[in-house]
Structure 1
Amino acid sequence: MSQSVLGPDALIWNEVHYRTILETAQTGGTMSVTDSVSPPRSGPPRHIHHDADETFVILTGDCEFWVDGERFTRGPGETAFVPRGIEHTFRVVSDIPSRHLVIMTPGGFEGFFAEMADQNCRIPEDMPAIEKSAKRHHLTFTGPPLEDA
């Protein structure tokens, strides 16, 4: 595995770099914070977190979000909030990577990223294994990644 731009304790999955900076165990389960760097034009398939709210704090780059059918863009210093149970995704629309904090309440989802990096899972080739891990982390994939409008 190549060295992460976020340091030696970070992991890389599908070209995205992740480093948990506040672990679920440190908060008694109430939340986790992951520092993430996503390359231009990257983003996950549409999905739902059934048990957690997700907040994005954009540090660099621009991301277009799709939340329950609504599209909007956020850039440095801006946030996006996705309530639990709502279908959503995002895509980096800038020509530079997007560094953003992902805050999950309650915590626990950072284990999904660790499993995916450890297993070197690829989208879409390894979706059965990805969906198995997703289910353990209360996540359901619901559609394709966001494409250009």
Structure 2
Amino acid sequence: MKVKSNILGADAIEWLGVHYKTILKAAETGGAISVVDSVSPAGSGPPRHIHHDADETFVVLSGDARFWVQGAECTRGPGETMFIPRGSEHTFRVLSSTPCRHLVILTPGGFEEFFHEMETGSYRIPEDMVTINECAAHYHMSFTGPPL
């Protein structure tokens, strides 16, 4: 059963405590871009990973997050952005005691479907990493290390 986010509305999905709502699909832009509205709980963040074919931009709307990109760290808060060039190993962690809401913009688009596959399969980290890695490869992404 899908857990719906009150913040993001009835069509949001939830995977590992993070709520996602695709607000611009790659299919709507001829593949040029996709935008996902995301709410990550305090202390959360993905394992290190690389998007091999897409640039990723975060626009932080609320909360604070520490970003790690190619070994360099910085913090971003509301109204700030973080650009991650394709091919760059990166991750982030929510620092604030409240959730961090951010837009995730990928160019080109298409990666937004990864979250739907993860939610549908109810995959867990680290238990299901073999399957998660296989799915990630389909979206030109690879996991490279632990979260912050």
Do residues 15 (structure 1) and 17 (structure 2) align? Answer: yes
Structure 1 segment 59-98 matched on structure 2, within 5 A: 59-98=61-100
Matched length: 146
| Alpha-carbon distance, 1:99 to partner | 0.3
| Alpha-carbon distance, 1:4 to partner | 1.6
Distance in 2 between residues matched to 1:90 and 1:144, nearest whole Å: 11
Q: SS of the residue aligned with 2:9?
A: coil
Q: TM-score, normalised on structure 1?
A: 0.97
Aligned residues of 2:3 and 2:13 also touching (Cα < 8 A):
no
In structure 1, stretches of 5+ residues that fail to align are none
Q: TM-score, normalised on structure 2?
A: 0.97
In structure 2, stretches of 5+ residues that fail to align are none
| Alpha-carbon distance, 1:3 to partner | 2.1
| Alpha-carbon distance, 1:7 to partner | 1.0
Counterpart position of 2:43: 41
Counterpart position of 1:4: 5
Counterpart position of 2:27: 25
Q: SS of the residue aligned with 1:94?
A: coil
Amino-acid identity (%): 65
Distance in 2 between residues matched to 1:24 and 1:121, nearest whole Å: 24
Q: CA RMSD in A?
A: 0.6
Distance in 1 between residues matched to 2:65 and 2:114, nearest whole Å: 22
